[in-house]
């Protein structure tokens, strides 16, 4: 049997089948209609599932520093919180804290309500000596040991004006030059303040070693753009390697976005040790450091040199 697309053919052959051409054309809206159909089909089948996440037990968090300057010894104790809690870490006040030196002298730290820290303003770190931190808390007893390493010499801070580019902010940049102990690998941390405000974001954790640059540091640039009349303070802390590793891992953790290709988040390695195996591990660090600092006022000129001797 023949088929015809022309009506005139049908009239000449009444037994022929007739299909109008407009029925054989592909509808231009078909893909859109198909997608719309799939959208409503999928959305109507979506179920919301609430996951019951197990919360970890709170842990003791220790931020302890013993310096060789007037700030002396201070220990801040807090309680860890849940994963989704932001900026709410209860301060721990009911603890007993003391630091012992190599000679067995015990120095008590008293809780200061204004600072929310345990402090001892009479205790200062001495170069080359080790110190033992002891904490007795509701979680149990914890200890940590650290040694005052040499911070080296700050020879100069030089300011240099840099014209802005798409990749660098315009302003005055400080360059650090100094010397470190040539008989060992040295580890350091820089802290930078502008007008009494600490740069304190995740990218401001500035830790490094002189392993690959030697004991003479020349024109190490601090990547902060300052403006004329800014008051800038730079602090340089000596570190033990375990504290350098702690801050390096902390910075990596803070940059972890939790994406598909990111490693699972892990707490930084702490030097706070529990005294019994049945205790929860503590978080945080005990740092003993020498520290040197310099304050400069940014001037609107090409170069400014400041020279100082070691403490």
Residue pointed to by tokens 């023949």 = 2
In this prediction, residue 21 has a pLDDT band, given cuts at 50, 70 and 90, of very low
Q: Which long-range contacts (CB under 8 A, 24 or more apart) does 100-108 make?
A: 100/131, 100/132, 100/134, 101/129, 101/130, 101/131, 101/132, 102/129, 102/130, 102/131, 107/73
**CATH 2.60.40 is right for the domain spanning 153-242+292-307:** yes
Question: What does the alpha-carbon distance between residue 297 and residue 226 come to, in Å, rounded to a whole number?
Answer: 10
Adjacent-strand bridge partners of 197: 194
Angular region, 140: left φ>0, alpha ψ -120 to 50, beta rest? left
Average of pLDDT values for 3-8?
Answer: 48
The pLDDT assigned to 66 comes to: 98
> Could you tell me what percent of the chain has a pLDDT over 70?
78
Question: What does the alpha-carbon distance between residue 123 and residue 115 come to, in Å, rounded to a whole number?
Answer: 17
Fold observed for domain 60-149+274-288: Immunoglobulin-like (2.60.40)
The pLDDT assigned to 113 comes to: 95
Whether pLDDT at 212 is above 70:
yes
Average pLDDT, the chain: 84
In degrees and rounded to multiples of 5, residue 104 shows phi and psi of 85, 5
* Distances 283 to 78, 122, 126 between C-alpha atoms, Å: 10, 26, 26
The pLDDT assigned to 55 comes to: 73
In this prediction, residue 82 has a pLDDT band, given cuts at 50, 70 and 90, of confident
pLDDT tens figures, 171-207: 999 998 999 999 899 999 999 999 999 999 999 999 9
pLDDT tens figures, 224-283: 999 999 999 999 999 999 999 999 999 998 888 777 777 787 889 999 999 999 999 999
CATH 2.60.40 spans which residues of the chain?
60-149+274-288, 153-242+292-307
pLDDT tens figures, 93-104: 999 999 999 999
């Amino acid at each position: 049997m023949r088929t015809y697309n022309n009506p005139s053919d049908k009239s000449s052959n009444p037994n022929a089948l007739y299909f109008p051409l407009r029925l054989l054309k592909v509808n231009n809206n078909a893909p859109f209609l198909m997608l719309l159909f799939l959208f409503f089909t999928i959305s109507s089948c979506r179920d919301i599932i609430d996951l019951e996440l197990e919360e970890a037990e709170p842990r003791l968090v220790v931020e302890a520093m013993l310096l060789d300057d007037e700030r002396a010894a201070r220990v801040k104790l807090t309680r860890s919180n849940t994963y989704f809690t932001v900026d709410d870490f209860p301060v721990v006040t009911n603890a007993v804290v003391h630091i012992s030196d190599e000679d067995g002298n015990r120095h008590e730290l008293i809780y200061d309500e204004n600072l929310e820290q345990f402090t001892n303003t009479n205790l200062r770190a001495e170069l080359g000596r080790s110190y033992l931190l002891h904490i007795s808390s509701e979680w149990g007893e914890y200890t940590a040991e650290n040694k005052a390493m040499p911070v080296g010499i700050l020879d100069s801070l030089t300011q240099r004006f840099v014209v802005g580019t798409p990749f660098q902010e315009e302003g005055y940049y400080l360059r650090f030059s100094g010397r470190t102990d040539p008989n060992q690998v040295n580890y350091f941390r820089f802290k930078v303040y502008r007008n009494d405000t600490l740069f304190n974001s995740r990218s401001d954790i500035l830790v490094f070693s002189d392993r690959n640059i030697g004991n003479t540091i020349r024109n190490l640039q601090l990547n902060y753009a300052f403006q004329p009349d800014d008051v800038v303070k730079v602090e340089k802390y000596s570190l033990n390697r375990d504290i350098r590793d702690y801050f390096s891992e902390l910075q990596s953790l803070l940059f972890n976005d939790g994406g598909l290709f990111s490693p699972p988040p892990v707490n930084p390695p702490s030097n706070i040790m529990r005294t019994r195996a049945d205790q929860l591990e503590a978080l945080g660090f005990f740092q003993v450091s020498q520290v040197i600092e310099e304050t400069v006022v940014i001037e609107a000129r090409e170069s400014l040199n400041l020279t100082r001797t070691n403490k």
